[in-house]
Amino acid sequence: LSAAEAFAIEYWPLELYKLSLKPAPRSLAGKVAFVTGGASGIGKSIVHRLAAEGAHVVVADINAEGSAKTVEEVEQKHGKGKALAVHCDVTSEQAIQNAFQQTLETYGVVDVVVSNAGIASSAPIEETSLAMWELNQKILSTGYFLVSREAFKVWRKQNVGGSLVYVASKNSVAAGKNAAAYSAAKAAELHLARCLAEEGGAAGIRVNTVLPDAVLSGSSIWDGKWRAERAATYGIAPDQLEEHYRKRTTLRVNVFPEDIAEAVKFFATSDSAKTTGGVLTVDGGVPIAYVR
């Protein structure tokens, strides 16, 4: 052995070991991420995850108090100026335009847009009012359309591509029991994402979708009326809902907002640089034709 070879054999593993101890570079350092529904639940976890990855984060929500709290938490952890709260009602074209405008005025660019804001509803079809049907369409499928359209406009101008990530639902592909209005609107989101992936590809705009099933977001979706409605659908007590959802999964787990945020982070970063029109299901393994 030459001295150099002997040295390499002796020290190379050590060098590798040292390398593995170095923190990985933060993949969204210097990037800007705009997250709708970032004031609570899954959206809030996404904001925290993307900020931890180095991004400046914009919390776009109708809940001013929740947005301010999320911004405060991010700034405490990552420094002043790392987060911005913007009022954004995803059913209003004007509000969305203003929210993007405010983002551009503050940070100059937008690199990642996460369309996540949503509501949950539950009722058998005979009891689903037209108003409930239309509300689901308005906030979910139309809201995702409006936010995406604005993101595309900004990205076409910036001409550097972008990553659009949808938080849709397992109900986008599976028939949710007593949730036709919600599921149909969520299915529209998924198909919209696929169409936009096709439209944006040549401009370097990637569009991918995460499909959560039941997520213990500890938010409005899980509290009060909705919890009672879901429990009634399955014929169980409201406090048995978590167990019901856990038992339904192949892995026998509950899924949390942080699990969804991790998948969103994958699509937001160059880890998924060659993926568009993609779908990542994060549900603990619920069969696609599940009976709830």
Can you tell me which of 70, 116, 128, 136 binds ligand NAD, judged by CB under 6 A?
A: 116
Does position 184 bind ligand NAD by CB under 6 A? no
Can you tell me which of 32, 40, 133, 284 binds ligand NAD, judged by CB under 6 A?
A: 40
Q: What is the CA radius of gyration of the chain?
A: 21
Helix (H/G/I), strand (E/B), else coil: 135? helix
Q: How far is it, in rounded angstroms, from Cα 281 to Cα 170?
A: 7
CB of 265 to ligand NAD, least distance (A): 15
Does position 117 bind ligand NAD by CB under 6 A? yes
Can you tell me which of 33, 35, 84, 139 binds ligand NAD, judged by CB under 6 A?
A: 139
> In this structure, are residues 189 and 166 in contact, taking their beta carbons and an 8 Å threshold?
yes
> In this structure, are residues 120 and 135 in contact, taking their beta carbons and an 8 Å threshold?
no
**Residue 166 annotated to the active site:** no
Residue span binding ligand NAD (CB under 6 A) among the ranges 50-58, 71-79, 86-94, 150-158? 86-94
Buried-exposed string 37-49: b where 16+ CB fall within 10 A, e elsewhere: bbbbbbbbbbbbb
Does position 178 bind ligand NAD by CB under 6 A? no
- Work out whether strand 205-212 and strand 279-282 pair parallel, antiparallel, or are unpaired: parallel
Q: 205 exposed, middle or buried (CB, 10 Å; 0-12, 13-18, 19+)?
A: buried
- Token pair listed for 198: 């096709």
Q: Is the dihedral of CA 115, 120, 123, 124 positive or negative?
A: positive
Residue among 11, 182, 234, 290 flagged as catalytic: 182
Q: 17 exposed, middle or buried (CB, 10 Å; 0-12, 13-18, 19+)?
A: exposed
Alpha helices in the chain (DSSP H): 3-21, 41-52, 64-78, 93-107, 130-136, 143-158, 180-200, 224-234, 241-248, 257-268
Does position 43 bind ligand NAD by CB under 6 A? yes
CB of 140 to ligand NAD, least distance (A): 7
CB of 43 to ligand NAD, least distance (A): 5
Total residues contacting ligand NAD by CB under 6 A comes to 29
Does position 58 bind ligand NAD by CB under 6 A? no
Can you tell me which of 31, 34, 37, 268 binds ligand NAD, judged by CB under 6 A?
A: 37
Can you tell me which of 50, 56, 66, 183 binds ligand NAD, judged by CB under 6 A?
A: 66
> In this structure, are residues 275 and 203 in contact, taking their beta carbons and an 8 Å threshold?
no
Does position 215 bind ligand NAD by CB under 6 A? yes
Does position 214 bind ligand NAD by CB under 6 A? yes
CB of 214 to ligand NAD, least distance (A): 5
- Token pair listed for 241: 């809902």
Does position 261 bind ligand NAD by CB under 6 A? no
CB of 92 to ligand NAD, least distance (A): 8
CB of 107 to ligand NAD, least distance (A): 20
Looking at the annotation, which residues are catalytic? 182
**Contacting residues toward ligand NAD, per CB under 6 A:** 36-37, 39-43, 61-63, 66, 88-91, 116-119, 139, 167, 169, 212, 214-215, 217, 219-221
